[in-house]
A and B are shown apart, each in its own frame.
Chain A
Amino acid sequence: MTNAVSTATQPGRSVTSEMVGRLPEYLMIWVPLLLSAAHLISFSIWTIWISFTPSTLVPVPGWVGLRNYTSVIASRNWQIAFDNLLLFGIAFVLLSLMTGLLLAILLDQRIRGENVLRTIFLYPLAVSFVVTGTVWSWLLNPGIGIEKLVHDLGWTSFHFDWLVNRDMAIWTIVIAAVWQSSGFAMALFLAGLRSVDADIIKAAQIDGAGPMRTYLRVILPTLWPITITVVVVQLQFAISAFDLVRALTNGGPGIATQLPALVVYDLMFQRSQLGRGAAAAVLMLLILLAVLLPYAAWRYVQRRQATHA
């Protein structure tokens, strides 16, 4: 670590005493960075290792190959969780993108009270998923929520029982998640719309393009990079979604709203099957990599193009 910090050696001091003098700065630089890097790497490797061992209640050495993986993938719990993740992930990302884009376009029309509206659309992001989930579980509960309200108002045949309906319950998670995080898409899209070069807009208008045409042909296409970023961030959230589901449905009714993160927790801490829990966690990581690696490749190509241009 002698050449870790490349400062000019001051004359008249020996190398050793200089190193002792620099000790505090080495510690301040390296200890936090190495702790952070080391824990990420070693913890991940350790979890991957455990996923190949027969560990149940406590970690034990041994090698069972892919047995934990095959048994997790074959379990009904995981299959439902995986199907739910696909549906939830796609529906949530599409709906929050559409809502976010619509809100950003509307706010971009120089309307009055833009600041207030932006504050309103973004505040759910500051609130924890536990709070969001709890509140939506009340609103969507047919016994005390929206259905009950409409019944009390006199429309007794009104039906809205998604929360307790096996086939529809996953949609309640979509609703709450979109409510929570579409403001994020809006914030990024709005920043994108505001950064479009005014000259390009003017040029399009001089060429005779109407407002609609300018929007569709000139302004919206510039939002592609932002859209991809939003999709990746939202998918990342969807894949690791835990708190929201725990507070809203706790995976129920039955296991109808199970998601991978809940399966991991269940295997690790409720059924004490560490090997399988670790395997499920690694599967989560693989799903995430399926999203992140293409994104990283795309970012890399973009950067190279930017530096060559």
Chain B
Amino acid sequence: MRDRSFAPSRILIYLIVSLFAAAYLAPLVVVVLNSLRTNEEIAQGSMIGWPQHLAWRNYAAAWSGFCVAETCAGIRPYMLNSALITIPATVISTLLGAVAGYAVSLWRFRGDNWIYGIVTLGLFLPQQMRLLPWTIVLRDIGLINTLTGLVLIHTIQGLSFTVLFCRNYYVAIPHELIRAARIDGAGFFRIFWRIILPLSSPILIVTVIWQFTHIWNEFLYGVTFTTGQQQPVTAALIALSAAVADIPQHGVQSAAVIIAALPTLLIYFFGGRYFVRGLTAGAVK
């Protein structure tokens, strides 16, 4: 069945995958093309069309010009918000996940399986079960409508993923390695720094990519706990579509969509196989 000859059946296979590939690429191509067409041009025809002259200024307008609600600073401030939420939350949750994953896999203590089981429950429980308590906690500690509040939420919730990823990776490390180091007198952190961390880069890359994509793309917490200038870019995009509903500005909006999706798309194109590994690790628990 796996020959390389050009039988009619193989031509059919290529035809079908090409059609699917076109269908998967079409939305991206349409948005890229629209981001280069003027609003008037789109209004005269449809969203699907070739740009007559390249309207690069859409990108300038999307980045720093047009208005969401009363402020006219484009999506730049919201991109900055998303970065200021995503980067610290990714780094902190990955580091804590690595230490905790190392502890529950190689440094057994009483109740470790229970704790680990409860932490991974976070993968399944719907976010909606935690919306109200988070609102109250954030209000009580004065972090409602702040970027710090979202960093805190994403860090704690992210632990479910990062502990799972790291733990599953660390259980494969030979215990003899740890035992030998312990006999030599190395403690918890020494073993972590000297032995575990140097072996960890494959799983840390997966975890960082997974967390970054997850947090950058998150919407529900962003829209619930922040308003106006404090919102991440996903929430701002929704506000933007509502704001321009009366006077369509699809060219500028398309540019904004591309800019907002760019960080995760770039990560996917450059770190695709790690992304897929995270996907399958997150799925096959």
Residues on A facing B (Cβ under 8 Å): 3-8, 10, 22, 24-25, 28-29, 32-37, 39-44, 46-47, 50, 59, 99, 102-103, 106-107, 109-111, 117, 119-132, 134-139, 141, 144-146, 148-149, 152, 179, 183-184, 187-188, 191, 211, 214-215, 229-230, 233, 236, 239-240, 242-243, 246-247, 261, 264-265, 268-269, 274, 277-278, 280-282, 284-285, 288, 292
The interface bits of chain B over 256-285 (1 if a CB of A lies within 8 angstroms of the residue's CB, else 0) are 010011001101110010011001100110
Contacting residues, chain A, for B276 (C-beta < 8 A)? 122, 187
Q: Is the CB of A127 within 8 A of B261?
A: yes
Q: List 28 A-B contacts (CB under 8 A).
A: A7-B182, A7-B188, A25-B188, A33-B103, A36-B156, A46-B133, A47-B133, A107-B17, A111-B13, A122-B276, A125-B275, A126-B213, A127-B261, A128-B261, A130-B219, A134-B238, A135-B31, A136-B27, A139-B27, A139-B30, A144-B46, A179-B23, A214-B1, A246-B238, A268-B131, A280-B128, A288-B124, A288-B126
For A128, what are the chain B residues with a Cβ–Cβ distance below 8 Å?
A: 216-219, 234, 260-261, 264
B284 contacts A229, C-beta separation under 8 Å: yes
B275 touches A126 (CB 8 A): yes
A282 touches B20 (CB 8 A): no
In contact, A106 and B17 (Cβ under 8 angstroms): yes
B108–A110 CB distance below 8 A: no
Interface: B134 (CB within 8 A): yes
The answer to the question of B206 belonging to the interface, with a C-beta cut-off of 8 Å to chain A, is: no
* B159: interface (CB < 8 Å): yes
Which parts of B24-55 form the interface with A (CB within 8 Å)? 24-28, 30-31, 34, 42, 45-49
With the chains together, A106 CA to B283 CA distance in Å?
Answer: 23
Least CB distance from B131 to A in Å reads 6
Contact of B47 among A24, A36, A138, A188 (CB under 8 A): A138
Among B2, B17, B187, which residue has its beta carbon within 8 angstroms of that of A110?
A: B2
With A5-B109, A138-B250, A145-B47 already in contact, the answer to whether A131 and B261 are too (CB < 8 A) is: yes
Question: Which residues of B are in contact with A by a Cβ distance under 8 Å?
Answer: 1-2, 4, 10, 13-14, 16-17, 20-21, 23-28, 30-31, 34, 42, 45-49, 96-97, 99-100, 103-104, 107-110, 115-116, 118-119, 121-122, 124-134, 136, 156, 159-160, 163, 182, 185, 187-189, 213, 216-220, 224, 234, 237-238, 241, 248, 250, 253, 257, 260-261, 264-265, 267-269, 272, 275-276, 279-280, 283-284
Residues of chain B contacted by A35 (CB below 8 angstroms): 156, 159
Verify B220–A243 contact, CB threshold 8 A: yes
On whether the beta carbons of A285 and B2 are closer than 8 Å, the reply is: no
Asked if residues A44 and B261 are in contact (CB atoms below 8 Å), the reply is no
Q: Hey, which chain A residues are within 8 Å of B104, CB to CB?
A: 33
Which residue of A is nearest B136, CB measured?
A: A59
Instruction: Give the docked Cα–Cα distance between A152 and B1 (Å).
Output: 45
A121 touches B47 (CB 8 A): no
A139: min CB distance to chain B, Å = 6
Residues of A with C-beta under 8 A to B24? 120-121, 123-124, 179, 183
Q: Compute how far the CA of A43 lies from the CA of B241 in the bound complex, rounded to whole angstroms.
A: 33
The minimal Cβ–Cβ distance linking A283 to chain B, given in whole angstroms, is: 10
Q: Is the pair B115, A187 in contact by a Cβ cutoff of 8 Å?
A: no
Q: How far is the CA of A285 from the CA of B121 in the complex (A)?
A: 12
Query: Whole-angstrom distance between the alpha carbons of A152 and B44 in the complex?
Result: 10
Residues of B within 8 Å of A284, CB to CB, are 126, 128-129
Min CB–CB distance A89 → chain B (angstroms): 14
| Inter-chain contact A32/B46, CB cutoff 8 Å | no
The answer on a CB contact under 8 Å between A264 and B124 is no
Inter-chain contacts of B238 with A (CB < 8 A): 130, 134, 246-247
Shortest 7 CB-CB distances between A and B: which pairs? Answer: A211-B1, A128-B217, A126-B268, A148-B46, A43-B133, A37-B118, A281-B128
Please indicate the chain A residues that have their CB under 8 angstroms from the CB of B28 in the complex.
123
CB distance from B283 to the nearest CB of A (A): 5
Tell me the nearest residue of chain A to B97, going by C-beta: A32
Asked whether, in the complex, the Cβ of B109 is within 8 Å of the Cβ of A4, the reply is yes
Say yes or no: A281 contacts B100, CB within 8 Å: no
Q: How far is the CA of A282 from the CA of B130 in the complex (A)?
A: 11
B174 smallest CB distance to A (angstroms): 18
Q: How far is the CA of A146 from the CA of B134 in the complex (A)?
A: 42
Q: Which of A3, A99, A136, A145 contacts B48 (CB 8 A)?
A: A145
Min distance, Cβ B166 to any Cβ of chain A, angstroms: 12
